[in-house]
Amino acid sequence: MNSSVPYIDPEAYCFENILCYKTPWTTGTKIALYSFFYAIVIITITGNLIVVISISHFKQLHSPNNLLVLSLALADLMLGVCVLPFSIMTAVESCWYLGAVFCKIHTIIDVMLSTVSIFHLGFIAVDRYYAVCDPLSYPNKITIRTAIIFVIVGWTIGFMYSFGLIFKSAYSQGYEDLFAQLSCNGDKCILLYNETWALVNACTFMIPCFAMISTYRQIFKVARRQARTIQSMEHKAHSLEANKNRLVQNREWKAAKTLALVMGVFVFCWLPYFIISLVNVFTKFSASEFLILFSVWLGYMNSAFNPLIYAFFYPWFRKALKLIISCAIFETSSSTVKLYAE
């Protein structure tokens, strides 16, 4: 007697859950995806590790602004170490093999680091505002102690927001059954927001971004006005003090432009994810898995872009990189090397 039961290929599903399909990639596509994603991980870890080592080691870089950049790079480094390697599994295999508890931990760290990055970029914008727009009071208002407070506030709020949101499963309240279905009862590690938390999540991104854009717009207006004033003064007198002020002002202006670019890249990378997450919940979760995957990894790629921006626009970064690669940082007094003119 012939059996009418169709053959089920166990390789097509997550574990033995026949309701939870794997993405049917070909072997060649899987190899290409793994290569691409691991390249992002390597760039993220290596680039941000260099930023962390450079600012930590060289005393000339021990400034309030660079302390914020260091903390931002540390958040990106943690993303590369603690989040991305496991997210690759979900991206390529579309299954989660590490259990529900670790899925929750992974998601908490992921959301926390994204929130930390947003707050740090906001604090960096405040730092640049005073450095360019109020340079006389800048050393008194933005000190190392102030920067440390900014760092503590950014990490604390990021942890509290992510832990409270994910640990209590507040983000999926009202959609527990749908969440269980879409996550295949835990065989897929996904983040599904309800309407309330989709709006809150979007606001935690949109409001700081608009504030930062407004701040940098004001910085650029003031910087252009100061540049015209300095040029006018240089026509009247060519003193050593005037030249020194011009060099300092130019350095602060270049730093502001570079960090504005960092913020712009952050918005470009993460804006699609927050828009898709918000629209998805109000369209009955109709967004495709590919679209969500693309938006998530575009956001992750931001952590790899930041060190590349520093490499292109910060001469001190390139000089520090050479010293690190040549192992010159292990020499006596290497921490006092001048990476830029005072």
Strand partners of residue 14: 17
Give yes or no for a contact between 93 and 22, defined as CB atoms under 8 angstroms apart. yes
- Arithmetic mean of pLDDT, 313-336: 89
Burial class (CB in 10 A: 0-12, 13-18, 19+), 79: buried
Domain at 41, CATH number = 1.20.1070.10
- Arithmetic mean of pLDDT, 64-80: 95
Detail the DSSP E strand segments found in the chain: 13-14, 17-21
Mean pLDDT, the chain, whole residue set: 84
**Which range (7-16, 103-112, 165-174) has the least confidence?**
7-16
In the chain, what percentage of residues exceed pLDDT 90?
38
Q: Is residue 124 part of a domain?
A: yes
The pLDDT of residue 249 is 63
The pLDDT of residue 20 is 72
Radius of gyration of the chain from its Cα atoms, rounded to whole angstroms: 24
Structure tokens at 309: 């921006």
Q: Is residue 342 part of a domain?
A: no
| Number of domains observed in the structure of the chain | 1
Q: Are strands 13-14 and 17-21 parallel, antiparallel or unpaired?
A: antiparallel
Q: Is residue 134 part of a domain?
A: yes
Q: Is residue 267 part of a domain?
A: yes
The pLDDT of residue 170 is 74
- Arithmetic mean of pLDDT, 5-10: 49
In the chain, what percentage of residues exceed pLDDT 70?
85
- Arithmetic mean of pLDDT, 30-35: 92
Encode pLDDT of 259-286 as tens digits.
888 888 999 999 999 999 889 888 888 8
Q: Is residue 241 part of a domain?
A: yes
Encode pLDDT of 133-177 as tens digits.
888 888 999 999 999 999 999 999 999 999 888 877 777 777 777
Instruction: State how far the Cα of 292 lies from the Cα of 193, in Å rounded to an integer.
Output: 13
Domain that holds residue 106: 10-336
Instruction: State how far the Cα of 250 lies from the Cα of 260, in Å rounded to an integer.
Output: 15
Q: Is residue 1 part of a domain?
A: no
Q: Is 0.75 topped by the overall pTM?
A: yes
Q: Is residue 4 part of a domain?
A: no
* CA dihedral of 308, 309, 310, 311, whole degrees rounded to 10: 50
